[in-house]
């Protein structure tokens, strides 16, 4: 895709989190051969939808053209943004769509912008049916999706969900690109010293915001079984609580778990490599999922994974090659973790990961959008 005027709409600086990180990295790829502007929020989440400590990043502002314009619950801002885009006449608007709460804003903006009879509109969809469902989901999707000309989903599961709706545009699936902006892998023992992890630990990492659907409680119960036979298996939990912290602390206390390391502040981008460099294995014990950006961070750092067989998670972790797939229950999770640490041929798995990760490029995502929206290879 070359010489296009593109507007990307979704989270970006000063907001933090995986969606902002994705959008900023994606924008840098797009601007190699195009003009790119990001429209982000003046208010992203109202308080009742945001259980964390802060929505805002402490990282430096990226060198990107970012304009704050959209208030998620103020229709006047939606109309202003739509008129701005109608007059700007970009060749393509790309919405980052991850939950139907934003559908009224995005759908209104898209409808107004398209009145210029020039701009094409698409979305990159992480979810159509969200992890934590609400009664608004279906009617809000029905409003937003018909405003689109096209869509790319981050997993085949989400593509199936999309095609089961009233969406009538063109659509395709593309793998989530690597998060390659967190720096290189660092020395494992140095990072363990920094994080207070024993040097001889068999270390599992749970990374990211802690929400009920992510199944940390299942993993804690699996740790009880694991430590009954191997006390060297440790769990490092790195991410901010978006659920009741006390619930997990009670589990740790009641199960008398000793090898749990809690780092439950938000992990800024410049510290992500510390955690992935320290661990041996990344575990995603999710109850529900479509796909997970954590997998793409793990592939960047060439770490094997244990993932549950839910949604699209298993699509990206070939069993026994780059990791293990289990059921979302403690015994199955424990069995897969045991299988990894008992594997005598971890070097072969490492070679599989190096090869498998080659498909997750940002340039490939841009090419897929070019083919889908402009029928141009």
Query: Could you state, in order of their start, the residue ranges of all structural domains in the chain?
Result: 5-177+361-374, 188-359
Fold agreement between 5-177+361-374 and 188-359: yes
As a whole number, the mean pLDDT across the chain is 93
Percent pLDDT > 90 in the chain is 81
Span 188-359: which CATH code? 3.40.50.2000
Place 9 in a pLDDT band, splitting at 50, 70 and 90. very high
Which token pair is 164?
């089961």
- Looking up tokens 């969809």 gives 125
- Average pLDDT of the residues in 167-192: 94
**Helix-helix angle 216-229:330-342, to 10 degrees:** 50
Question: 42 near 70, Cβ under 8 Å?
Answer: yes
> Closest Cα partner for 174 from 50, 291, 285?
291
Which option is the CATH number for 5-177+361-374: 1.10.10.10, 3.30.70.20, 3.40.50.11930, 3.40.50.300? Answer: 3.40.50.11930
Confidence check: pLDDT of 297 > 80: yes
Handedness of CA 44, 48, 51, 53 (dihedral sign): positive
Tokens in use for 182? 């967190």
Angle, in degrees to the nearest 10, between helices 137-144 and 103-113: 10
Q: Which two tokens stand for residue 250?
A: 């009670």
Q: How confident is the model at residue 239 (pLDDT cuts 50, 70, 90)?
A: very high
Query: Residue 50 above 80 pLDDT?
Result: no
Query: What pLDDT, on the 0 to 100 scale, is given for residue 351?
Result: 95
Contact 289, 311 (CB under 8 A): yes
Look at residue 125 in the predicted model and tell me its pLDDT: 96
């Amino acid at each position: 895709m070359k010489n296009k005027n593109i507007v990307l709409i979704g989270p970006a600086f000063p907001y933090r989190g995986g969606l902002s990180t994705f959008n900023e990295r994606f924008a840098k790829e797009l601007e190699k051969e195009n003009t790119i502007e990001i429209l982000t929020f003046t208010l992203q989440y109202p308080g009742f939808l945001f259980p964390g400590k802060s929505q805002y990043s402490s990282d430096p502002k990226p060198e990107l053209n970012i304009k704050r314009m959209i208030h998620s619950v103020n229709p006047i801002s939606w109309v202003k943004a739509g008129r701005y885009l109608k007059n700007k006449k970009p060749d393509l608007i790309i919405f980052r769509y991850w939950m139907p709460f934003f559908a009224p804003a995005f759908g209104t903006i898209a409808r107004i912008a398209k009145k210029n009879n020039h701009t094409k509109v698409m979305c990159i969809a992480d979810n159509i049916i969200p992890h934590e469902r609400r009664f608004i989901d279906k009617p809000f999707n029905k409003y937003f999706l018909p405003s689109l000309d096209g869509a790319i989903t981050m997993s085949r599961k989400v593509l199936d969900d999309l095609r089961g709706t009233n969406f009538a545009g063109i659509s395709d699936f593309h793998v989530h690109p690597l998060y390659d902006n967190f720096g290189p892998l660092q020395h494992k023992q140095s990072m363990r010293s920094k994080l207070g992890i024993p040097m001889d630990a068999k270390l599992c990492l749970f990374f990211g915001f802690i929400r009920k659907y992510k199944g940390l409680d299942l993993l804690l119960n699996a740790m009880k079984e694991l430590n009954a036979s191997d006390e060297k298996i440790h769990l490092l939990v790195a991410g901010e609580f978006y659920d009741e912290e006390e619930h997990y602390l009670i589990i740790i206390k009641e199960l008398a778990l000793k090898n749990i390391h809690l780092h439950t502040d938000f992990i800024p981008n410049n510290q992500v490599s510390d955690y992935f460099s320290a661990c041996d294995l990344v575990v995603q014990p999710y109850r529900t999922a479509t796909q997970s950006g954590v997998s793409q961070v793990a592939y960047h750092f060439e770490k094997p994974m244990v993932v549950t067989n839910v949604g699209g998670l298993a699509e990206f972790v070939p069993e026994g090659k780059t990791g293990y797939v289990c059921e979302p229950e403690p015994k199955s999770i424990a069995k897969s973790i045991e299988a990894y640490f008992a594997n005598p041929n971890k070097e072969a798995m490492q070679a599989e990961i190096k090869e498998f990760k080659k498909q997750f490029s940002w340039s490939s995502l841009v090419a897929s959008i070019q083919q889908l929206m402009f029928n141009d290879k």
